[in-house]
Every structure is written in structure tokens, then in C-alpha cells.
Structure 1
Amino acid sequence: MQPYPIWGYHPQSRSVSLTSAARPTLAPDEVLVQNRVIGINPVDWKFIQANPLHWQQNHVPGVDGAGVIIALGSEVDPQWLGRRVAYHGALKRQGSFAECTPVKVSRLMTLPERLSFEKAAALPCPMLTAWQAFEKIPHRPCLTVLLTGFGAVNHLLAQLLIKAGFTVDVLSTSLKEDKAATLNIRHVYRQLSQITMNYFAIFDAVSGQHAAALVPLLKANGHIICIQDRIPKPIDPPFTRTISYHEIALGALHDFGDSRDWEALMHQGEMLLEQVAMGSLVGSAPVIFEFSQLPEALKHSERTKQKTLVSLNRN
């Protein structure tokens, strides 16, 4: 079989370069996705730079992609062949920075027909992360929550919370007032010192240290949700405000989630993709690079924090 192009990892230089690989042998429960568009996420360039998993030469990075299934493992229902899908892959496995990617069939989301590959590829990591964060707190309409940082995850999370009846404030230096108004965000703070009220829940997308500094802004029995990093130990003494501490790590589900966890998450993901297709849930506007420009796309994502995609230009 013909080899196909990949962006292979180089451990010594901690970079990727364009090369080729043989078509992989699929496990019985896997499919081969021919990627149409690849999603770039901060986890991609962070792991390329740090290599915490000790990737070997020509490991394929990348967690998000959208494309068409072109081959099936021996135990996969033939009806999957040709299906349009999106996926969030495991960092330990061969990833999306390639023309083709092997993915477990249980970890695929089928795309609505009217949803483009561009919109779909921008969503798996931020959308599923936003959903996990959304599920961490009791849903009590009319309560007020704070989001800190306003990247792709909190852009989607704000919409989920507002639809559920929460009042949402945001602490961000980048969110524009007109955009906030469009999303029905009540108030945008530019500095932490401007905040004078207490919140039922705070969703922090900055760092564990930043999240820890926000805990005093919580009401009794409040919730702090760390989307980046975690708070290693409680801030308050025991039996005082009884704050609940939460951490989000979508990738951890690949190691610790069971089949029911993945079935539930993919079902919810498909429902959210349907909302995006209908226009009732809106993702961040992406910047799109060509496949040959993938290193530039990684640099753009790191420099600007904008949602970034890579297109393989297939009809």
C-alpha cells in the first residue's frame, strides 16, 4: 500500500517535519480516518516542546481531526465505512498530524451533514472540555458564575452555562464588549481587583496558581473548576466555607475512562455538534493553514491563542 504524509516528531530538536509512513495495521476495534481538516490545540505545541510522554522519532502528534473513514478493523460494523466523523485522540497514540489517523471506533463522533469539516475539526478538544467543565457543578438557574480567560473552551462554556440559566461574568483582557453582549455575558472585568462580589462557581482557564487566587471570591459551598492545571490542596481550613475543588483533563479519559464513559461523552458530543450545525452553539472563528504549513500553524496558535486549523484540501 502507498505510504501517506505525516508530520513526524524529532525528540532531539523537539520539532516536527514532513515525512511519510506506511499505512497502519488496524486493531479489530479501529477505523482509519482520512483527515480533511486538523485542529490545533495548545496541548499540541506544549507537548511538542516539552515531550513529557517521551515520544520517539516520527511519532505523530495531534489530538483533533475531522475526516472520512476509509478502512475498518475486523470487528467494526461495515456501515461506518465512508462516514464523516470528528475525533479527539490520545496523546500516547499516533495522532492527527497526518493524512490518515487510526482511531478507536468508540471514540468517534458522527458529523451532521450540514456541518463542515472546518467547523468540526475546531471543536473536539475545546467542546468536550467545556462540556466536562459544565457537568462539574449542580445546575441551579439564576445563580452567577465567573469565567477567567476566554479562549476556545470558555467561549463554548459560556454559551452552555447561559443556556442552562446561569448568569455569566468574565475576567478577560481580550474579550471585546460587543462580543460579550452578543453572547449575553453580563459583565467583563479587565482586572481581578475590579471584582467585588462572590460567585457560586468559578471556571479558571489560566493556571492552578491563578485559580487558587480566585477561591476567596467564592460563596459558601462554592465550586472552583480548573480547566488548566489544578489546585494541589484546599485553600481554606476544613469545615469553613466547604469549597468543592474540580479539575478537568479530557485526555485522562483515554487512560482511565471505560466504555460507558466514552459512549456517554461521544453521545453528548454529537448532540453539541448538532447544535453547532443549527447555529445555536457557536465556536471560535478559526485561522486556517495549509497542511504544508503545519509548523507555522503551531507557532500561530502559541503566539495568538486563536483557534487554528490545518486543511488537507480534499474535495
Structure 2
Amino acid sequence: MKAVGYQASLPIADTQSLIDIELPIPTAQGRDILVRVEAVSVNPVDTKIRMRTPAEEDNYKVLGFDAAGVVEAVGDEVKLFKKGDKVWYAGAMNRSGSNVEFQLVDERLVAEKPLTCSFAEAAALPLTSITAWELLFDRFGLSKDSTGTLLILGASGGVGSIMIQLAKSLTQLTVIASASRAETQAWVTELGADHVVDHSKNLQAEVETLGLGSINYIASLNGTGQHLPAIAELIAPQGKFGLIDDAEVIDIMPFKRKSASIHWEFMFTRSLFETKDMIEQHKILRRVASLVDSKNIKTTANESLGLINAKNLKKAHALLETNTAKGKVVLTGFEE
């Protein structure tokens, strides 16, 4: 089967950073399903792993998490799916990725894709939806009755684009989105943000100018290190602060006087440790699919780069490494 992989961690401009390869088709066993991949999307985590984790020995490492496709076969313990089902998922960090024609994935991480989405539109959503959902509802403990203010830093990327929509659809929160360019400010406004601030300016002043008072919930999706002093000042007493990026140093002492709680969100935790509630990601994706089909939220796919191959995946990685992507980048199908 066709696949895209690499052996050494190299800059994306290097000819060997991602290459087209051939691999054997795996066999579904246990709770695994074998999915014929129809579309994928690319996430910042793909670029980080590429630069940090070389392949083992003479093998190839295959990246990719978001995918949508069709079930080709199921393991003997599978209960949730059958051959022919159209599915979507975000996969697991400790297994081979989705940049392949056929991928094995644990059924507990998979759900039937939204009926109203194409494979490409669906592939844009799983990883970011799970990340946003877990941060909002598992870490912050929000519900349909939650009120107050939510500040989303770096809101125009994949996670922010779906987090705005989830917060507006499933809570009573006032959503403040940060974006630094006219294009991305228009994007987050279209997705439903109540207010937009520019994080390239004085963030504290930008938010305080809105006159909303201290912020109850702050979700920092990138640039956390540079914004930490402002976050500590803006957060309400007993507020909740969550982050997903990899700041080199997080000094939490400024948060003590506010009794603020700090939450790391990493959507691969459940699959990495095979937690007892691992099936929650199946349930989250089912709920998100329902929200998509009822038109409460929409896909965040914003740019299609064509077929799934090394050339196009390099373009996607290069774009994400500029930190200027809006929404999600998707690729569809393999060359015959």
C-alpha cells in the first residue's frame, strides 16, 4: 500500500524529510479496525514529531492523526463497527499514522463520520474537536448552563476554530477570540466569536478595553510563554487557565494569589495510557458529528492541497510551520 514516511528528523525543505514509500497492508485483530483512508488533515503535532522523533533503526515512521475513511475489516473483538462503515478519528500517538492507504485504529477512538460532510470536510475535525472538547468540558468542567467569559488565545487555528463553535453552541459563555491579522480576525468572527482582540498588541490592554472585567476561563493554544504575564493578570479569582502548547517554562507562581487552576490538555493521553475511559473519544466524536449534521457547528477545513503524497504533505508541514494557517489543511485520496 502507498504511504508517506521518513527515517531521519529533517527540515521540511530537505528532500528526505517526507518521502513516498510502500508498506504491507496490516491485519485487523482484537479491537482494531482496518480503515481505507480517504482523506487526512495535518496538525502542528505532525511537524513537531517529525523534527523530534526519527524512525527506529531502518524502519520508516509514518505521521498523521486526523483521518476519515471506510472500514475494510474488523478485529474479532470489535463491537462498534462493521465493514463498509464511513468513519472519522484522530488516532493514537504511539501507533503508525494516517498517511497510509490502510490504517489500523482502535475502535474506541473512532466514530461514524458526519453524514453531511465529505471525507475531506470530516478529516479536518477529529483531533481539534477532541482537544477543544476535553479542555472545555473535561478540564474546565463547563456545561450548557455555564456563564461568564472565555478568552481563546490563537483562536484562528484548528483547535481555536472549533473551540469557538463548541463554546457558543453548548455553553452560555461570552467568547473572546485573539487573532492578529485582518483575515484571521474575520475568520473567528464568522465562526461566532463575540469579541476579537489582537494578541500581537498589548494583550492585557486589548482585553481590558472590552470592559468585561476579569476573565473566567482562558484557553491558550499557542504563544503561551509570551502571554503568561498578561494571562495571570486577566484571569478572574478562582478562574481556570488551560493550555495545549509547549512553552519552555511555565511559572505558575503569579496564579497563586488568584487560586486559579491550571490545566494541561493533551488529547492523546487516553490512548497513550489506555485509560479506562478511552471510549470517551468515541462518544465525543459521535456528539460532534451530531452537532455538524444539525448545522450547529461546521467543518474548519480551509485549504485543500490535493492528493495524499509526500510533495503535498511537505507543503502542509511548511505552511503549519509558519504559524499563519487559518483553520485546517486537508488532503484527499491516493494516486491510482
Q: Same fold (TM over 0.5)?
A: yes
Q: Which has the higher contact order (CA 8 A, sep 6+)?
A: 2
Asked if the contact 1:33/1:67 (under 8 Å) is kept, the reply is: yes
Which residue is equivalent to 1:134?
136
Amino acid in the other structure paired with 1:194: E
Matched, 1:271 2:278: no
CA distance in 2, matches of 1:264, 1:277: 20
Cα deviation digits, residues 202-229 of structure 1 (max 9, x gap) = 1111144135221111111011111223
5 Å matches for 1:193-212? 193-196=205-208, 197-212=213-228
CA distance in 2, matches of 1:86, 1:221: 37
Which residue is equivalent to 2:197?
189
Which residue is equivalent to 2:245?
228
Any idea what SS the aligned residue of 1:91 has? coil
CA distance in 2, matches of 1:45, 1:75: 34
Give the stretch that moved more between structures: 17-26 or 203-212: 203-212
Cα deviation digits, residues 66-103 of structure 1 (max 9, x gap) = 10011222222495111111111122211101111111
Aligned residue among 11, 17, 32 for 2:8: 11
Cα deviation digits, residues 98-151 of structure 1 (max 9, x gap) = 111111122111123332211110011111101011112243543112111121
Aligned residue among 272, 276, 301 for 2:320: 301
Change (3 A) 1:42 1:54: farther
CA distance in 1, matches of 2:23, 2:334: 20
| CA shift for structure 1 position 162 | 2.1
Aligned residue among 87, 102, 105 for 2:104: 102
CA distance in 2, matches of 1:199, 1:54: 45
Amino acid in the other structure paired with 2:315: E
Any idea what SS the aligned residue of 1:236 has? helix
Amino acid in the other structure paired with 2:196: V
Aligned residue among 153, 174, 185 for 1:167: 174
User: How many matched pairs?
Assistant: 310
Cα deviation digits, residues 164-223 of structure 1 (max 9, x gap) = 110111222036554444344222111213232421111111144135221111111011
CA distance in 2, matches of 1:233, 1:5: 45
| Structure 2 portions without partners, runs of 5+ | 12-16
Give the stretch that moved more between structures: 288-297 or 58-67: 288-297
5 Å matches for 1:2-81? 4-11=1-8, 13=10, 15-51=17-53, 57-77=59-79, 80-81=82-83
Any idea what SS the aligned residue of 2:287 has? helix
| CA shift for structure 1 position 232 | 4.0
Matched, 1:287 2:308: no
Asked if the contact 1:9/1:56 (under 8 Å) is kept, the reply is: no
**Identity across aligned pairs (percent)?**
24
Which residue is equivalent to 2:148?
143
CA distance in 2, matches of 1:131, 1:107: 14
What TM-score, normalized by structure 2, do the two folds share? 0.84
Amino acid in the other structure paired with 1:137: F
Give the stretch that moved more between structures: 220-229 or 179-188: 179-188
Cα deviation digits, residues 224-254 of structure 1 (max 9, x gap) = 111223674522374x310111111112222
CA distance in 1, matches of 2:296, 2:335: 28
| Structure 1 portions without partners, runs of 5+ | none
Change (3 A) 1:237 1:211: closer
Cα deviation digits, residues 256-315 of structure 1 (max 9, x gap) = 2424x2222211211111211232102323211212322222223333424111111699
Any idea what SS the aligned residue of 1:10 has? coil
What TM-score, normalized by structure 1, do the two folds share? 0.89
Amino acid in the other structure paired with 1:153: V
CA distance in 1, matches of 2:146, 2:123: 31
Amino acid in the other structure paired with 1:142: T
| CA shift for structure 1 position 52 | 7.2
Any idea what SS the aligned residue of 2:73 has? strand
